[in-house]
């Protein structure tokens, strides 16, 4: 008799905190869908997709849908104004909180190897992730910059990090 082996799959979720541009949020949904993210948490003032069957949409809802190209319907998501509650919930579910930010404690994103489920946290387009929030992260990763600009667009940087993290996870 052959016993089936069980492969434990690590999960990857995305936490989008205080990203103001609906275009960026739509792009993040599309990238998350492509990378295999299982859930998105929208926190702070991050815009949300329109509710299903909404007749009249806000400008932000239209922009988000335009860049997400339907991915907002494929990836489960939830909205919470309070980031700390989401992070606490994720820690209880055995997720490692990984901040994507330039910081004196950050490590090159290519050197990070997840040991368990990962919750990638990204922040505001201009201000990034607040230092108080970074203290709640188990790991901070960054993408080294070689040009004159010191950062990438949040959706571009998130795409790079998501695909790198996913490539190192057991699936």
CB 155 within 8 A of CB 16: no
Domain spans of the chain, in order of start? 12-168
pTM of the prediction?
0.91
User: What pLDDT, on a 0 to 100 scale, did the predictor assign at position 9?
Assistant: 66
Least confident of 19-23, 99-103, 107-111, 145-149: 145-149
Q: Which residues, 6 or more positions from 87, have their beta carbon under 8 angstroms from its beta carbon? A: 15, 97, 119, 121, 136
For 146-152, the CB contacts below 8 A with 24+ separation are 150/102, 151/102
Whether pLDDT at 2 is above 60: no
pLDDT digits (tens, 9 = 90+) for 88-133: 999 999 999 999 999 999 999 999 999 889 999 999 999 999 999 9
Q: Which CATH class is domain 12-168?
A: alpha beta
Q: What average pLDDT does this structure show over 30-46? A: 96
- Helix (H) / strand (E) element for 78: namely strand 76-80
Residue 14 binned pLDDT confidence (cut-offs 50, 70, 90):
very high
Mean pLDDT along residues 45-69: 87
């Amino acid at each position: 008799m052959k016993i089936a082996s069980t492969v434990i799959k690590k999960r990857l979720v995305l936490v989008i905190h205080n990203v103001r541009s609906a275009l960026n949020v739509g792009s993040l949904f599309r990238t998350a869908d492509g990378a295999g993210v299982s859930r998105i948490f929208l926190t702070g003032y991050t815009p949300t997709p329109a509710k299903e069957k909404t007749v009249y949409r806000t400008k932000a809802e239209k922009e988000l849908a335009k860049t997400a190209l339907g991915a907002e319907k494929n990836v489960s998501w939830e909205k919470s104004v309070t980031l700390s509650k989401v992070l606490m919930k994720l820690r209880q579910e055995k997720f490692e909180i990984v901040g994507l930010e330039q910081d004196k404690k950050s490590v090159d994103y290519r050197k990070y190897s997840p040991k368990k489920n990962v919750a990638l946290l990204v922040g505001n387009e201009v201000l990034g992730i607040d230092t108080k929030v970074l203290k709640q992260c188990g790991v901070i990763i960054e993408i080294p910059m070689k040009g004159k600009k010191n950062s990438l667009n949040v959706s571009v940087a998130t795409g790079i990090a998501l695909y790198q993290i996913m490539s190192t996870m057991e699936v």
